[in-house]
Amino acid sequence: MRNSNESRLAELREALQARPRVSLANLPTPLEPCPGLTRELGGPQIWVKRDDLTGLATGGNKTRMFEYVLGQAIEDGVDTVVGGAAVQSNYCRQLAAACAKLGLDCHLLLRKVRAERDDEIQGGLLLDLLVGAKVETIEGVSWAEHGERIRKRAQELEARGKRVYIGRVGDESRLGRYAVAYTQAFVELIEQAEEAQLTIDEVWMSSSDATQAGLAIAAKHCESPVRLVGLPSLPQPIAPGWTFAECISSFGNECAEILGLPTRLEPDDITSIVDYVGPGYGVLTDAARTAMQLAGRCDALLLDPVYTSKAMAGLIDHVRRGLVAPDHTIVFLHTGGLPALFAYADSLGLEALL
Ligand SMILES: Cc1ncc(COP(=O)(O)O)c(C=O)c1O
């Protein structure tokens, strides 16, 4: 095997098989070449792993995660889920769709972060409503207060006899259970690369925590030479007082504990590049707009305005500055987020192309 130690990969497969899981995603997601971008950048071979095609209400990286997270919740007897994040949250959209498929009641408390633009029934919010989530939008509260509201709603539902699973509330320091799915994604990617006789040098992705954590613990356990590069969409990690490398390695280690693997990560194992966030979470940068237009024009690859466009902007910048070896093979992990394109239509700079 060129991308991993075969017996370690088999060990990981076996550990994953022991975990409760429900089927939600269209897997394996395609691994496709990007000839247009490769030509345009004139350097490394660029491939894309299409986790934007996982399938739940347009897909994304969370669909994989809910296979394991809700698999466990259902095994624990849960019938109701309460979650919340920003109005255009991809997490909440895929959670709502997963609940619809699994017959769970879904309550979402969505925080307005884009003033009156968040009143528009568009993008993720539109899909949340279509798949039957009970949505309440709230404004003028901090993330901490938002978390309190979510917990309070869960208590009210429990008092009415519901068995409630509380989704992410925004300030967690324990996300190992979400990372499990990306150890499975690592196995899937390696199997595809072997089949295609492809040696992967680097995987680039938008991640602030769980996605990179799962890939990183899997790669280390499998003694894989593949380098992982994560580009957060937030200026600081969600767990207050931590660095991204600390968060990601800690979530990876929690994930290893869940899977019963002896491997552990150190913060030094993690490459996390925060330089492409720009002025803030969800605020488009010129480089992200350019990356969206380039990926669209070169390979009909649609990137989202909040996550993948900024990660691609980072990759493009590194290639153009000669920081990625020209003979390398790069996989860009597309983590989804496409419905936000419609909610952000007036920020994409497309008027100039008319
Ligand atoms: C489209 C998309 N990409 C990337 C991410 C980052 O995922 P994480 O930080 O959980 O690894 C998210 C998280 O919400 C997302 O919605």
Question: How many whole angstroms separate alpha carbon 282 and alpha carbon 285?
Answer: 9
Tokens matching residue 209? 């925590």
CB 179 within 8 A of CB 217: yes
Tracing tokens 């409630």 back to the chain, one arrives at: 164
Tokens matching residue 151? 């917990």
Strands 31-33 and 45-50: antiparallel
Q: Which residues of the chain, if any, have pLDDT below 70?
A: 170-171, 173
Tracing tokens 């039957």 back to the chain, one arrives at: 132
Q: Is 228 in the pocket of ligand 1 (CB under 6 A)?
A: no
Whole-number pLDDT of residue 173: 66
Question: How many whole angstroms separate alpha carbon 155 and alpha carbon 163?
Answer: 10
Q: Can you give the C-alpha Rg of the chain in angstroms? A: 19
Choose the residue to mutate in 208, 250, 281, 333 for probing ligand 1, maximizing ligand atoms within 8 Å of C-beta. 208
Helices (H), the chain: 6-17, 35-41, 61-75, 90-102, 123-130, 143-159, 176-195, 210-221, 244-259, 286-299, 308-320, 340-343
Whole-number pLDDT of residue 171: 63
Residues 6+ apart with CB under 8 A from 228: 202, 203, 205, 212, 215, 216, 219, 270, 271
Q: Is 207 in the pocket of ligand 1 (CB under 6 A)?
A: yes
Q: Is 237 in the pocket of ligand 1 (CB under 6 A)?
A: no
Q: Is 307 in the pocket of ligand 1 (CB under 6 A)?
A: yes
Q: Which residue type is seen at 19?
A: R
Q: Is 209 in the pocket of ligand 1 (CB under 6 A)?
A: yes
The string of pLDDT tens digits covering residues 180-225 is: 999 999 999 999 999 999 999 999 999 999 999 999 999 999 999 9
pTM value? 0.97
Gap from CA of 171 to ligand 1 centroid (Å)? 15
Strands 202-206 and 329-334: parallel
The string of pLDDT tens digits covering residues 107-163 is: 999 999 888 899 999 999 999 999 999 999 999 888 889 999 999 999 999 999 999
13 alpha carbon, distance to own chain's centre? 21
Residue nearest to atom 8 of ligand 1 (CA): 207
Please name each of the domains of the chain with its CATH number. 6-59+174-353 (3.40.50.1100), 62-166 (3.40.50.1100)
Residue nearest to atom 2 of ligand 1 (CA): 335
